[in-house]
Amino acid sequence: MYDTLKSIGRLRLAVSGTLVALGFVFALFAVGLGAGFGLGLGAPQPAFAQESDDDATPVHAHDPTNIWAIARGGQLYDNWAAVLEQEAPDQTHPAYPAAGKKKGKSTWRCKECHGWDYMGKDGAYAKGSHYSGIKGVRGVVGKDPAEIHKIIMNETHAYTEAMMPHSAMEKLALFLSRGQIDTDRYIDRKSKVARGNPRRGAQFYQTICAVLKLISVPSKP
Ligand code: HEC
């Protein structure tokens, strides 16, 4: 009996360890998906392999529920309306710059103003068809999510509760505070192809992301 209990204990430990590891990978993938890219397409990069192989790297023991919320926040950042199965307003966002080339619904996406790389005017959207001229959101990393929530609710942003429920804003705030990554580490800026080892990535993709995709929605970069 005692032995059984002990092995159940061991099993539980093993399972929760796996969950933490999966959660970490899950968060990375979700951020990748949020940015509109599938990982596993790029040439093998040792840096990525080290990231997950190195036992010395501390694994952050985030509550898996939070990991989910953070990952969801990343998807919302990319395209909240699609994630929430909502229609964004037809009229162009009032804060969208006159010099920008987009119109209507897409101007309500966080990434349209702040960039898929979170860097706004200093990143991929510094010029070209997605030019916005607006600052990025890298500056709020580590900030109290409650403060970020207030920013999302401010007049500039003009999001109503009917468009975006409170809980979605909370996940966005959590993501911006704790989930942002340096995209240059995972996506090659020039080719827009994800770094990583396709064969290793395939295993994670098939067990985690394919499932995530079933409950998620396709999005355009
Ligand atoms: C139409 C353009 C537009 C869209 C869409 C938009 N924002 Fe903003 N956002 C702004 C502007 C303008 C500012 C103020 C920038 C400044 O102070 O220079 C801002 C500021 C912010 C800041 C503060 C950044 C800082 O460092 O001070 C955060 C955080 C933020 N936005 C999050 C979001 C989130 C989350 C979404 C999507 C739900 C979103 N924004 C969508 C235009 C936009």
How do residues 111-155 score in pLDDT, each as one tens digit?
Answer: 999 999 999 999 999 999 999 999 999 999 999 999 999 999 999
Cβ–Cβ < 8 Å for 121, 88: no
The tokens describing 164, both together, are 């975006």
Pair 32, 70 in one domain: no
Query: Which strand (E) or helix (H) includes residue 77?
Result: helix 64-83
- The residue range of the domain holding 102 is 63-185
- Tell which wins on pLDDT, 142 or 16: 142
Clarify whether residues 74 and 180 are in a common domain.
yes
Q: Which residues of 26-65 are buried (b: 16+ CB within 10 A; e: fewer)?
A: bbbbbbbbbbbbebbebeebeebeebeeeeeeeeeebeee
Ligand 1 pocket member 173 (CB < 6 A): no
Is residue 87 domain-shared with residue 148, that is, in the same domain?
Answer: yes
Place of tokens 């200093």: 122
* Residue position matching structure tokens 């109503």: 160
Between the alpha carbon of residue 112 and those of residues 14, 108, 121, 149, the distances in Å are 41, 7, 11, 19
The whole-number pLDDT of residue 194 equals 86
| Residues 30 and 82 both lie in one domain | no
Together in a domain, 122 and 208:
no
156 touches ligand 1 (CB under 6 Å): yes
Whether residue 181 sits in one domain with residue 73: yes
Residue nearest to atom 41 of ligand 1 (CA): 110
- Asked if residue 125 and residue 19 are part of one domain, the reply reads no
Q: Per the domain annotation, does 51 fall within a domain?
A: no
User: CA geometry: angle at 173 spanning 148 and 63, to 5°?
Assistant: 135
Question: Is there an atom of ligand 1 within 6 Å of 200 CB?
Answer: no
Q: Quick one: which of 108, 93, 88, 112 has its CA closest to 35? A: 112
CA–CA distances in Å: residue 35 to residues 30, 78, 138: 8, 6, 15
Atom 26 (ligand 1) nearest CA? 139
pLDDT of residue 25: 42
Are 67 and 28 contained in the same domain?
Answer: no
pLDDT at position 15: 41
Which ligand 1 atom is the nearest neighbour of the CA of 76?
38
- Asked if residue 28 is part of any domain, the answer here is yes
Per-residue pLDDT, 204? 85
Collapse the DSSP code of 165 into the 3-class scheme (helix H, G, I; strand E, B; otherwise coil) and give the result. coil
Is 107 touching ligand 1 by the criterion CB < 6 Å? yes
Which of the pair, 28 or 50, is modelled with greater confidence? Answer: 28
| E strand or H helix that includes residue 204 | helix 198-204
68 exposure class (CB count in 10 Å sphere: 0-12, 13-18, 19+): middle
What pLDDT score was predicted for residue 218?
56
Q: Is the pTM of this model over 0.75?
A: no
Secondary structure (H, E, C), 30-68 = HHHHHCCCCCCCCCCCHHHHHHHHCCCCCCCCCCHHHHH
Q: Is the pLDDT assigned to residue 66 strictly greater than 70?
A: yes
Could you tell me which of 192, 189, 182 has the C-alpha nearest to residue 28?
A: 182
Residues 75 and 181 in one domain: yes
Residue 221: helix, strand or coil by DSSP? coil
